Amino acid sequence: MTQQPTAAMLAIGDELLSGRTKDKNIGYLADAMTLAAIELKEVRIVADDQEAIVEAVNALRARYTYVFTSGGIGGTHDDITADSVSAAFGLPCIYNDEAIKRLAENYARRGIEFNESRRRMARMPEGAALIDNPVSTAPGFVIGNVHVMAGVPQVFQAMLANVIPTLQGGVAIISEAIDCPFGEGDIGTELAAIQKAHPHTSIGSYPRFSDKGFNTQLVVRARERALVDAAAIDIRAMIAALQG
């Protein structure tokens, strides 16, 4: 059996921790990983703080197949992701020639001065490969298994679209969601028995709250359709019995 590829995300930015900005990239990456059959195992959010970024990058890249970061790659003094990722790898943070070329051409075409702040957006660890940015030119980069992308959701998404085809996906997970009109207290014991009877599936129970009180969404996941189907039959029978 092939090892399932795994992933972690590191979202970087003071604004995510102050509440000023509500992250939109974590959920987007989670969906993309599920679609690519790569198991997202952990997410961290840290401040614009080099020590915190270095520690998180090194912890995550050692443990998971892929690491994806968002944020902190702009041109101002508080964008420290490139320096921090370079430090995590023990590499010098340099101006990448190809990135400088792309940025210079872009600003020349638009008649905008290519100043030091804009040049900063070409900085990355020596030896990094570029991630194309069709939205606003300034590239992300890949070093080792770490993919460094922008925090602005439109740019993050465009970069991720260029990264996904380069990743080694695993075996797709089949899943089925079943709406259950009962709360977890009504179904917990029987659901545990169903999970036990279907050991090669993963059955999740997600309580939801509405004006009708608590109900749940039950989700069966497995690598094979037949396994999902078999567990789903038992779950539907449990619900039908409760509806008596």
Question: For residues 112 and 171, which CB has a smaller minimum distance to a copy of itself in the complex?
Answer: 112
The token duo for 235 is: 């779950």
Comparison of 62 and 209: residue with beta carbon closer to a copy of itself: 209
Instruction: Find the part of the chain contacting a copy of itself (CB under 8 A) among 90-98, 122-130, 202-210, 223-231.
Output: 202-210
User: CA angle at residue 232 from 226 to 236, to 5 degrees?
Assistant: 150
Is residue 204 close enough to count as binding a copy of itself by CB under 8 A? yes
Selected from 23, 53, 66, 146, the binder of a copy of itself by CB under 8 A is: 23
Site for a copy of itself in 150-189 (CB under 8 A): 151-152, 154-155, 175, 177, 183-189
Residue number with CB closer to a copy of itself (90 or 199): 199
DSSP character at residue 4:
P
- Beta carbons within 8 Å of 16's beta carbon, 6+ residues apart: 22, 23, 45, 71
Which residue in 94, 164, 174, 219 binds a copy of itself (CB under 8 A)?
219
**Token digits of residue 243:** 């509806």
Alpha carbon 187 to chain centroid distance? 32
Q: Would you count residue 223 as binding a copy of itself (CB under 8 A)? A: no
Q: Is 3 in the site for a copy of itself (CB under 8 A)?
A: no
Minimum CB separation of residue 67 from a copy of itself in Å reads 14
Element (H, E) at 159: helix 153-163
Select the residue interacting with a copy of itself from 1, 2, 62, 77 (CB under 8 A). Answer: 77
In the three-class reduction of DSSP (H, G, I as helix; E, B as strand; rest coil), residue 93 is classed as: strand
Q: Which of 101, 166, 206, 242 binds a copy of itself (CB under 8 A)?
A: 206
Q: What is the DSSP letter of 67?
A: E
- Residues 77, 40: Cα–Cα separation, whole Å: 31
Distances (CA, A) of 40 to 149, 222, 233: 17, 16, 28
Choice between 33 and 222, CB closer to a copy of itself: 33
* Residue 51 contacts a copy of itself per CB under 8 A: no
